[in-house]
Chain A
Amino acid sequence: MKLKKAVAAAAVCLAVLFAVPALAADFPARPVTYIIGWATGGGSDLVSRVLCAEAEKHLGQPIVIVNKPGGSGAKAYVEISQAKPDGYTIGNTTGTISTHKFMGVIPIGHEAFEVVITFNSDPGGLWVKKDAPWKTLKEFVEDARKRPGEITVAASNPGSITRLGLQLLELKENVKFKIASQSGGESAGPSLVAGGHVDACQAAPVTAKSLYDAGEIRPLGIMSETRVEAFPDAPTCMEQGYDVVMHNARQILAPKGTPKEVVDKLYAAFKAAAESETFKKFMNESGSMILTWDQKQSAEFLEKQDAQFKELLQQVGLYKEAK
């Protein structure tokens, strides 16, 4: 009996001893897993891969990227929230971190995580064909007012950030468009506009940049507070008198309970990565905006985003009480 107790005690001591190296002081001691909740080759995937390639250098350990697509990030969110909070499992988000829980897709939101950094934000935007009859946003909105439900606008599926931005415009101006969903997310939108299949589309500048540069489409209004650097000629909705702002921001998440020192180390590494030349070049060329908000700023932002989306979803009738 005594021997058993001694062995048990020794085992506990050994276990604690072995657990100690897993503490923050030595982080990271082995490769970090980075979960992307979207398919390989998509927007989130590419941005994350470039970012991680840079962050590896500052972190000192390889970052292994794993794609776990499903439900626009839903599956990945659940998985990250259930991982061990030791900093070795992290992943990224888009705006869906705020919408999923209000639509009843998953029961958790950003409170279930430690947010490491907000590194990117893409505003929405309204685009039309180069020779479309509307020259300004005002003409477009007024035309929609005159013939409700006739102007076709391509946007992603119900509940997606893209579509919400468009619906925000509808609500604020009391107009109605004929919103057409398209499968394959918002990337098909600009092509549909250029091909003349729809009158307009809602898409982030990133997605529309190729066809914009090619001269096929032009922006009526970007849904950000100030003009996007890579699109100096694209007017914002705000400066045209329409208070419509919609951002799709990307954060990096770690499970709740991850020690502060670990989060700080991760933040430092990813911040440096976001400010690296390679990443800047990539984002600039894609037309995307770089941010480097830390934990506190990100949390504040997410609170605001939660409130904004909750209200919006209620207004468009997609809100579901949490399970």
Chain B
Amino acid sequence: MLTKNPSTILGSGLILFSGGVLYLVSQFSTAAEEFRALSPKFFPDLLGWALLFLGGVIFVQGMRRPPAPVFRERPERGAVVRAILFILLVGLYLRFLPVIGFFSVTALFMLLSQALLGEKSIVMNLLRTGVFVFLVNYLSSGLLHVPLPLGPWGF
């Protein structure tokens, strides 16, 4: 899958996507209104068709002349796993940010993600996390007065 033709993948992806878009556009509730200017449906419709067309073009281009595969060399399995885990971590970061507050969730995130990416020394990990969180906190609340979400315990 990773070494397959990116143009056909992209092309088919776009075609499917634009199909969805066109369907959604038809659902816009513009029932009884007359529009002096362009209907709000006009533009999204146009774009949907454009994407459909472009998707087709790209697909055909891909069939006629296969370009270089998506990944030049297969990335090693470990890297893929790490990438997916990292994204999940960011997702969790987002999920818990409103719950436990910026300070704590950032510290947790930094610790976990550094470990994930290969930081072996726990001491360095903790040190860097501490310094970083402190700096960002100071910068945002202290210097710039940008309020960051607080956890239930006030920081």
Q: Which residues of A contact B147 (CB under 8 A)?
A: 33, 64, 66
Complex CA distance for A160 and B37, rounded to whole angstroms? 18
Give every chain A residue within 8 A of B65 (Cβ-Cβ). Answer: none
Docked complex Cα distance between A66 and B145 (Å) = 10
Residues 1-58 (chain A) with a chain B CB within 8 angstroms: 33
Minimum CB–CB distance for A150 against chain B, Å: 13
Q: How many chain-A residues does the 8 Å CB contact rule pick out?
A: 4
Output the nearest chain B residue to A66 by Cβ-Cβ distance: B147
Rounded to whole Å, the gap between the CB of B42 and the closest CB of chain A is: 15
Chain B: number of interface residues, binned into ranges: under 10
Chain A residues, CB < 8 A from B145: 64
Within 8 A of A (CB), among B78-136: none
CA distance A33 to B145 in the complex (A): 12
Contacts of A181 in B (CB 8 A): 37
Which chain B positions have C-beta within 8 A of A66?
147
Cα distance, A64 to B145, chains bound together (Å): 8
In the complex, A138 Cα to B105 Cα: how many Å?
A: 64
Chain B residue with the shortest CB-CB distance to A158? B33
| Separation of A162 and B145 alpha carbons in the complex (Å) | 33
Q: Mark B125-154, 1 if CB is under 8 A from A, else 0.
A: 000000000000000000001010000000
**Interface positions of B from 23 to 71, Cβ below 8 Å from A:** 37
The smallest C-beta distance from B105 to any residue of chain A, in angstroms, reads 19
Q: How close is B152's CB to chain A, nearest CB, in angstroms?
A: 12
**Which residues of chain A are near B37, meaning CB under 8 Å?**
181
Q: Min CB distance, B33 to chain A, in Å? A: 9
Looking at the assembled complex, report how far the CB atom of B98 sits from the nearest CB atom of chain A, in whole angstroms. Answer: 12
CB of A317 to closest CB in B, whole Å = 9
Instruction: Say how far B146's CB is from chain A's closest CB, in angstroms.
Output: 9
B154 (CB) vs chain A CBs: closest residue: A30
**Distance in angstroms between the alpha carbons of A181 and B40 in the assembled complex:** 13
- Chain A, residue nearest B141 (CB): A64
Question: Which residues of A163-212 have CB atoms within 8 Å of chain B's CB atoms?
Answer: 181
- B residues near A64, Cβ cutoff 8 Å: 145, 147
Question: B residues within 8 A CB of A33?
Answer: 147
CB proximity of B46 to chain A, nearest CB, Å: 19
**From residue A246, how far is it (CB to closest CB) to chain B in Å?**
23
**Chain A, Cβ-Cβ closest to B32:** A317
Task: Give Cα distance in the complex from A173 to B37, angstroms.
Answer: 25
Min Cβ gap A18→B in Å is 12
A155 to B147 alpha-carbon distance, docked (Å): 35
* B43 CB to nearest A CB, Å: 13
Closest to A64 in B: B147
The smallest beta-carbon distance between A192 and chain B, in angstroms, is 15
What is the bound-complex CA distance between A66 and B146, given in angstroms?
Answer: 8
Interface residues of A in 69-114 (CB under 8 A from B): none
Q: In the complex, what distance in Å separates the CA atom of A194 from the CA atom of B147?
A: 40
CB distance from B56 to the nearest CB of A (A): 33
> Within the assembled complex, what's the spacing in Å between the Cα atoms of A181 and B38?
12
Cα-based distance from A120 to B37 in the complex (angstroms): 35
State the Cβ distance, B39 to closest chain A Cβ, in Å: 14
Shortest CB distance A16–B (Å) = 18
Interchain CA distance A64-B144 in the complex, whole Å = 12
Closest residue to A30 on the B side, CB-wise?
B154
A66 to B141, CA, bound (A): 12
List the A residue with the shortest CB-CB distance to B145.
Answer: A64
Of chain A, the residue at the smallest CB distance from B37 is A181
Q: How close is A178's CB to chain B, nearest CB, in angstroms? A: 8
A319 to chain B, nearest CB (A): 14
A66 to B147, alpha carbons, bound, how many Å?
A: 7
Give B74 Cβ to nearest chain A Cβ, in Å.
44
Min CB distance B154 to A, Å, is 9
Min CB distance A57 to B, Å, is 17
CB distance from A65 to the nearest CB of B (A): 8
Q: How far is the CB of A287 from chain B (nearest CB, A)?
A: 29
How far is it, in angstroms, between the C-alpha of A33 and the C-alpha of B150 when the chains are bound? 12
Can you name the residue of chain A whose Cβ is closest to the Cβ of B36? A178
Taking CB as reference atom, which chain B residue is nearest A62?
B145
B26: min CB distance to chain A, Å: 22
Q: Could you give 5 example pairs across A and B, Cβ below 8 Å?
A: A33-B147, A64-B145, A64-B147, A66-B147, A181-B37
- Nearest first, the 5 closest Cβ-Cβ pairs linking A and B are A64-B147, A66-B147, A64-B145, A33-B147, A181-B37
